[in-house]
Amino acid sequence: MTAEAMDEKLDESPGDADVRFSGLDDGRSELLLVTAEDCHFCEHAQALLAQLGVEVREVAVDSIEAAALATSGIPLAFLPVLTDGERPIAYGRFSEKHVRRELEL
């Protein structure tokens, strides 16, 4: 999705562009997994996160929420993207070692 297309999506529903991320019990932000349909890396990420017992909320890359993430500086060029809403944690083909290190598992 181009920056112009994301801007158009945000302009369509200005009320939805104000994205809020809820906190987890341990003080961390909610984890979001930005995905696309028919994405084998996305399927790999979903399986790895489930295996590690990591709870995430999936967000479609073509959604208003994903556009808001991109506007806030979260790069969405290499899907999937695991983020806490403030920074990318993992993207592309997830490495179990990297995910464990980043999430302190």
Q: What distance in Å separates the CA atoms of residue 45 and residue 92, rounded to the nearest whole number?
A: 9
Write the pLDDT tens digit of every residue in 6-39: 445 445 544 444 444 443 444 557 999 999 999 9
Please calculate the CA angle 6-86-27 and round it to the nearest 5 degrees: 140
Contact 50, 96 (CB under 8 A): no
**What interhelical angle do 40-52 and 96-103 show, nearest 10?**
50
For residue 11, the model assigns a pLDDT of 52
pLDDT tens-digit map of 37-84: 999 999 999 999 999 999 999 999 999 999 999 999 999 999 999 999
Give me the CATH code for the 3-17+28-103 domain, please: 3.40.30.10
pLDDT band at 4 (very low <50, low <70, confident <90, very high): low
Position with higher pLDDT, 17 vs 97: 97
Domain edges within the chain: 3-17+28-103
